[in-house]
Amino acid sequence: MTERRNDIDAITLEVLRNALESVADEMGAVLKLTSFSPNIKERMDASCSIFDSKAQLVAQAEHVPVHMGAMLKAVQATVAAVGKIEAGDVVIVNDPYVGGAHLPDITLVAPVDVKGTRVAYVATRAHHSDVGGMEPGSMPGKSQEVFQEGLIIPAVKLYRKGELQDDILRMILANVRTPEERRGDLNAQLASIRVGARRLEELAETYGTDLLMRGFDALLDYAERRMRKRLAELPPGVYRGEDHLDDDGWSDEPVAIKLAVTVSKDRMLLDFEGSSPQRRGNINAVAPMTYSAVFFAIKIMTDASLPVNAGTFRPVEVNLPEGSFLNARHPAAVCSGNTETTQRLADTILKVFHQFAPDRVPAASQGTMNLIGIGGRDPRNGRPYTYIETIGGGQGGRPMGPGQDGVQCNMTNTMNTPIESFEIAYPLRVERYELRDGSNGKGLNRGGLGIVRALRVVDHEARVSLQSDRRKTGPYGIGGGTPGSPGRNSVIARDGRITPQPGKASFSLQAGEIVVVETPGGGGWGAAAGADD
């Protein structure tokens, strides 16, 4: 820990911490209320954060875990890639090899200057329902390189000194299937960061720029101290484990995650040496995706009340072999690295953590985001549409009680698209949306139930993409609990014939046909004697 003199008292520090988190919350509310697409305005597949003048994370709202951990690492890289950022500039980026996500996650970053002093940066990341590429929704089931997944936006200035760079925006909108919706969602992100900047300026006026900036440093140190204290409570040693993704979409070979966790004094090393090399399919992850899962798992294993900022994970070291599928090289396809690989990473890390913290760690949750994308031309108005959604499943049984039924788990806490909103927005109909009876693992504390979601294409032909996992092996039980049921995907033809579909695929549906996604149940926790099922 870097020692520095900081005389901010505990009460002032806590007031600042809550004020900054409230700013991030308000940014998220503005983004949700002003966005166009159901994926953001209904599901809130977006996140907002505040960074100090060095682009270190200082505060975030409780939005999407896979966004937040990646932004912790990626915003510094984004700022460095642009070079000089001036007052009034807004940087836009979606390049995974800079921004640390997949292409549909577009990030906007803006500086906050007060009386000529760079005080902070504000950032929003939102999953756009289409950024071009080979399939509607920009999440193809079987892409082989990042170029197939959509338009790549390097870190460039969308605004320079307050002036919109119209040529940049027109270039982006010319490469997507739903340009009006994209413009609306980008404007919502702009509104969000402007509110965040204004609130930070107000805090600087209230407390003074110097105290606010010293408060940033003090918050990072405070989080670091608390994390070190929690890690020091763990039994020292080296703990090992592994888990697998079903496949990469191109071969049936499982994709291995191998992990060794070394706990020593007040530090932790996570070493992923031996994990599978970069693969042909799009389950590859860039490093910030992997960091995101690491940070999520450590936080829930240690102390849920810990503030999450750049100081929180200073005591954590991660070894990611370059060229493995957890630290892929350009131009590897990476779109489901964000959705599927991070989920399996969380499973693997928590499985290892159970060896030294059994009373803190749940059984495996569904372990997949069950992403579905559908696109075509809306017969009601003749215009293109793109629908994208992740579907909840069973939460793993927990030390304190059963897992929840039908929820978004671990690396995502997005909401569902309500049926009413869904059927207004898209030429699709929800045929079934229900809990999947019997899908949960059994144990002292049972796992949660998965979900069945069946969608019919109405009066047109559409393209469908599925990105899902845990279709071959169910989520593990822990401490004697049994596994949850694997998920299933299928298509129901107009004559009632059912055709199973793999976990990762893209295909066409004719008018009247139905795609069905049955999500995994959570694993059970604890020995089955006295089971709650």
Give residue-wise pLDDT tens across range 314-357.
999 999 999 999 999 999 999 999 999 999 999 999 999 999 99
Determine the pLDDT at residue 205: 96
- d(CA 276, CA 486) in angstroms, rounded, equals 22
Determine the pLDDT at residue 28: 96
DSSP assignment of 37-61, as one string? SHHHHTT--EEEEEEETTS-EEEE-
Determine the pLDDT at residue 396: 98
Determine the pLDDT at residue 17: 95
Burial of residue 176 (number of CB atoms within 10 Å: 0-12, 13-18, 19+) = buried
Contacting residues for 145 by C-beta, under 8 A, at least 6 apart: 331, 332, 333
Determine the pLDDT at residue 103: 98
Among candidates 337, 321, 328, 326, which has minimal Cα distance to 273? 321
Point out which residues pair with 250 in neighbouring strands.
Answer: none
The sheet carrying 267-271 orders its strands as: 237-245, 255-264, 267-271, 316-319
Write out residues in the chain with pLDDT < 70, as ranges.
1-6, 529-533
- d(CA 345, CA 242) in angstroms, rounded, equals 9
Amino acid making up residue 217: D
Determine the pLDDT at residue 1: 44
When computed from its CA atoms, the radius of gyration of the chain, rounded to whole angstroms, is: 22
- CA-CA-CA-CA torsion sign (417, 421, 423, 426): negative
CB-based contact 521:436 (threshold 8 Å)? yes
CB-based contact 163:6 (threshold 8 Å)? no
Determine the pLDDT at residue 6: 65
Q: Whose structure tokens read 């996992």?
A: 469
Among candidates 493, 495, 421, 487, which has minimal Cα distance to 457? 493
DSSP state of 337: I
pTM as predicted: 0.95
Both structure tokens of 63:
């939005």
Among candidates 124, 99, 101, 122, which has minimal Cα distance to 112? 122
CB-based contact 521:474 (threshold 8 Å)? yes
Both structure tokens of 224:
């670091």
DSSP state of 402: P
CA distances from 129 to 126, 148, 174, 332, 388 (A): 9, 16, 15, 21, 6
Among candidates 48, 53, 56, 57, which has minimal Cα distance to 23? 48
Give residue-wise pLDDT tens across range 3-46.
445 679 999 999 999 999 999 999 999 999 999 999 999 999 99
